[in-house]
Chains A and B, each alone.
Chain A
Amino acid sequence: ETGVTQTPRHLVMGMTNKKSLKCEQHLGHNAMYWYKQSAKKPLELMFVYNFKEQTENNSVPSRFSPECPNSSHLFLHLHTLQPEDSALYLCASSPSSGSYNEQFFGPGTRLTVL
């Protein structure tokens, strides 16, 4: 595997379910990110991890819970979601969280909340 991978690619869940999204980067990067992409809206940064430490939480509801066990893996735990949480969730990584660093994106997980 190369680059940034995300699993699953598609997920349908009910509002009472608990599920997790997984992201893995094979680039040796130290920073990882979760974004939400909704139709007709700009990408929204959700969380930033730098060297496994969370450095940004962009006022995300607590029903989204990130976990970064090491610099290569990032999870997004989901529980009691709402239909408006349906979106494409993108993971990205970069060498570090400096402003000049390009972010490399995974293909995303398409989430549908029923």
Chain B
Amino acid sequence: GDSVTQMEGPVTLSEEAFLTINCTYTATGYPSLFWYVQYPGEGLQLLLKATKADDKGSNKGFEATYRKETTSFHLEKGSVQVSDSAVYFCALSVGIGKLIFGQGTELSVKP
């Protein structure tokens, strides 16, 4: 069945470090891919998305490229800030509004 696998957290980085959170997926068909972020005490917010192969989603300095050949959608940011501390979820959608989420990766950025 369709699934999403993320790297396990927590990930702890110093401010201004480079961030990569790996995400791979298994899906039939051609899914749309998403990264959501959840700040403490809040719901999920869409961070970025890509709807077809080779698309690059970007927002707030974060980027992810839809790689069909490696079935991956890794999240990257060149210089993280303390305010980026949150839980990040990779997700795919295969129609009828069904989002399948990874288990989430907690990021902690230290000053």
Contact = CB atoms under 8 A, between A and B. Distances in A.
Nearest to B102: A42
B99 A4 contact: no
Interface in A11-66: 31, 33, 40-43, 45, 48, 50, 55-56
Given A99-B95, A99-B96, A43 B46 contact: no
A99 B97 contact: yes
Contacts of B103: 40-42
B32 interface: yes
B51 interface: yes
Q: For this complex, into which size category does the number of interface residues on chain B fall? A: 20 to 34
Given A42-B104, A100-B51, A48 B43 contact: no
Interface in B67-108: 89, 93-104
A86 interface: no
B87 to A, nearest CB: 10
Interface of B: 4, 31-32, 34, 36, 41-46, 49, 51, 89, 93-104
Given A4-B43, A45-B100, A107-B42, 16 more contacts: A31-B97, A41-B103, A42-B101, A43-B89, A43-B99, A90-B43, A97-B97, A99-B31, A99-B32, A99-B93, A99-B94, A100-B51, A100-B93, A105-B43, A105-B44, A108-B43
